[in-house]
Amino acid sequence: MTTIFGIPLMVLFGQLLLGLINGAFYALLSLGLAVIFGLLKVINFAHGAQYMLGAFAALLGLEYLELDYWLALLIVPLVVGALGILIERFLLRRIQHIDHLYGLLLTFGLALIFEGTLVNLFGVSGSSYPVPEVLAGGFNLGFMFLPTYRAWVLVAALVVCLFTWFMIESTRLGAYLRAGTENPKLMQAFGVNVPLLVTLTYGFGVALAAFAGVLAAPIYPVSPTMGSSLLIVVFAVVVIGGMGSILGAILTGLAMGLIEGLTKVFYPEAANTVIFLVMIVVLLLRPTGLFGKEA
Amino acid sequence: MSDSPSVTAVRQRSARRRLGLLYVGLIVLGLVAPFVAYPVFLMKILCFALFASAFNLLLGFAGLLSFGHAAFLATGAYITGFLLSTYPGLTPELGILAGTLGSVVLGLVFGILAIRRQGIYFAMITLALSQMMFFFFIQAPFTGGEDGLHGVPRGKLFGLFSLQSNLALYYFVFAVFVLGFALIQRTVHSPFGQVLKAIRENEPRAVSLGYDTDTYKLVAFVISAGLAGLAGATKTLVFQLASLGDAHWHMSGEVILMTLLGGVGTLLGPLVGSSLVIGLQHQLSQSPLGDWVSVILGTIFVLCVLSFRSGIIGELQKLVKRNFK
């Protein structure tokens, strides 16, 4: 069998694929964080919990409502996004005029509530969500085996990321969003309904997290704590990439997934910490982040 | 209407006297408390009060929100626990000193990295770094991994006084707390503390006045980390164990809640907040609501942020100002 640095190629490619999939989730989640941060200036600490809610909604939908995977992929982000809209409208809006660190604390409290409630209802051990039949099986690429569902996750995540990027960079709504990020007061003066824009933006960011959650349900164990540990890694990814650029967030997410995959092959003990180590190096060399603009 | 200078001076002096009386009252309360309440419970409160006060030095007086203080608590706890269980000849005060120094060093490293960014990034960086330490503690050979360290001996203070009895240990922990608290009180009211407040209020202005704000922030971070480590080290002696729970990000969240509930930027706030949170956890753990602790803490968090941002002591101060001025 072909090997590279004493590692069989099959293993290497397998881990790289896993890394890329993880990276797709980092990209989706950091994208949502960046969109929300851009307009609200709040770091959404409940992002991980909302991702977890997405996965759980898909699982419970299947169990009790016979909601199939494809419908879940459509409906769950809408439902969880609507929850996000309520959170923005009734909680975050009340503190938007004060120090934005309070937004972080508020969403942290919400994350504790969501996570704690689901732990009580369903326990900490995860359940599994069946892979939809159409996407079961896989291809033999000759140098490695590619499960169809994983390929689908990668494609779907990339399409959603690029679609979001296109929306923000090239549509009128996206232009409003970018303008609102620069100067919300001026936007308001021009007659744009900024509060509505803020609400919808938060809802959209939360819906992205829930979409990622549904996408993740068939490959990761669905448990109440699945989001929080992931979110802290995503924070590191955001610090590495800087939140100034949407494309930057996507690229950083994917790259960090790959680096994590490589580390699993060559030095597995550091696989959990490598992204934090990259963050330290970036902070030392380029404190504003790779794609960051502000000082 | 402004008062003449002499009136202000008299008022300041009487305020200082009132504060002095309050501290004397609190010390007397601390000295008699173990005869009224269970000493281990009180020691837990004191350790967390010190932890929250250390955290508050950073958030309340320098305006820096650290989301990674669990790492310092755990570092102090693990180093002290490891040294005391491995070297039976080591006296507890030296073990605690070593744990505190460990946290000081870690605080220096974290601080150098984190103060390169401000505001929300600062919070995310400290959280990420402390999560890194969490993974380190799981794998490191000296922490006992998932099991943690158990049966850490309390030993004899200075090799002379046994700390085996809870009452003896209580007075030691109380002394540690008073020392730590005095250091914070001194720091806050020193010229150094005034500069910290200036940085909190308006960092660019402090820079333009010629202050090297990064150094001030770093020193504050290190002091805070060291005291958090001291709290963790002392806690190890009380419970005779050190575990991963200390390093978990929930712990970083809890200390924020204690400070927020008691009153950010007030000296007594963290003391009140930690007593309430520890007391609440204690009560809940014995009630049918035990499993809902984190939901209840989360709810208190949300309510505090929405409508109780000054915390208990902060609201009391406002009340006093409004009615007795």
Q: pLDDT digit string (tens) for A217-229?
A: 999 889 998 998 8
pLDDT at A127 (0 to 100)? 83
Which residue among B119, B291, B306 places its CB closest to the CB of A94? B306
Q: Count structural domains, chain A.
A: 1
Partner B contacted by A125 (CB < 8 A): no
Contacts of B227 (CB under 8 A, 6+ apart): B50, B51, B53, B54, B57, B100, B180, B183, B184
Q: Is A94 left (phi over 0), alpha (psi -120 to 50) or beta?
A: alpha
The answer to whether residue A258 sits within a structural domain is no
Distance CA A256, CA A278 (A): 9
Instruction: Identify the band that residue B293 occupies on the pLDDT scale cut at 50, 70 and 90.
Output: confident
Which domain range does residue A197 map to?
18-233
* B111: in domain: yes
On whether residue A117 sits in a domain, the answer given is yes
Please report the pLDDT score of residue A1 as a whole number.
54
Q: What is the pLDDT of residues A208-261, one digit of tens each?
A: 999 999 999 999 889 998 998 899 999 889 888 887 788 888 899 999 999 998
What is the total count of domains within chain B? 1
Q: Is residue A284 part of a domain?
A: no
The pLDDT of residue B164: 82
Range of the domain at B181: 37-247
Considering only CB atoms, which chain B residues are within 8 Å of A38?
none
Are the Cβ atoms of A283 and B135 closer than 8 angstroms? no
Q: Complex ipTM, two decimals?
A: 0.87
- The 10s digit of each residue's pLDDT in A42-98 is 889 999 999 999 999 999 988 888 888 898 999 999 999 999 999 999 998 898 888
**Residue B197 pLDDT level (bands cut at 50, 70, 90):** very high
Establish if A255 belongs to a structural domain: no
**pLDDT given at position A2:** 67
What residues contact A55, with CB distance under 8 A and at least 6 apart?
A: A129, A213, A214, A216, A217, A220, A222, A226
| pLDDT tens digits along B81-109 | 999 988 888 888 899 999 999 999 999 99
Q: Does the residue B280 lie in any domain?
A: no
Q: How far is CA A284 from CA A246, B110, B207, in A?
A: 23, 12, 22
Å from A45 to nearest chain B CA? Answer: 10
Contact B301 A100 (CB under 8 A): no
**What is the pLDDT at residue B5?**
64
pLDDT at site A293: 63
This prediction's pTM: 0.89
> Quick one: closest CA in B to A228, which residue?
B249
Mean of pLDDT values over B48-58 = 95
